[in-house]
Amino acid sequence: MPYRTMGWIHAKIARRLREQTGQGTVEYVGLMLLLATLLTGVVAAAGGLRGGGIAQEVAKTLKETISSVGEQR
């Protein structure tokens, strides 16, 4: 009886873990899409201003941030 119960518990836990596989990736992609949309809106809105200095600054900062990903400090 205890072996059957432990097997049942193990099967339930394994099934529950398999159901959530990939969930973190979906949330991460959604967050990146939200951030990209927000930044696109900021750059587009700033591009309409005279000189476009804000848009260039945002683009420069974004490029520096992306290129620095993975570098060790």
pLDDT in tens, the chain (73 residues): 677 888 888 888 877 777 666 677 888 888 999 998 888 887 777 665 555 677 677 778 888 888 888 776 6
* Structure-block tokens of residue 21: 């596989």
- Taking the C-alpha atoms of residue 63 and residue 23, their distance in angstroms, rounded to an integer, is 28
In the chain, what are the domain boundaries? 23-73
49 secondary structure, DSSP code: S
Cα 16 to its chain centre, rounded Å, is 23
Identify the CA nearest to 63 among candidates 39, 32, 37, 27.
Answer: 39
- pTM of the prediction? 0.42
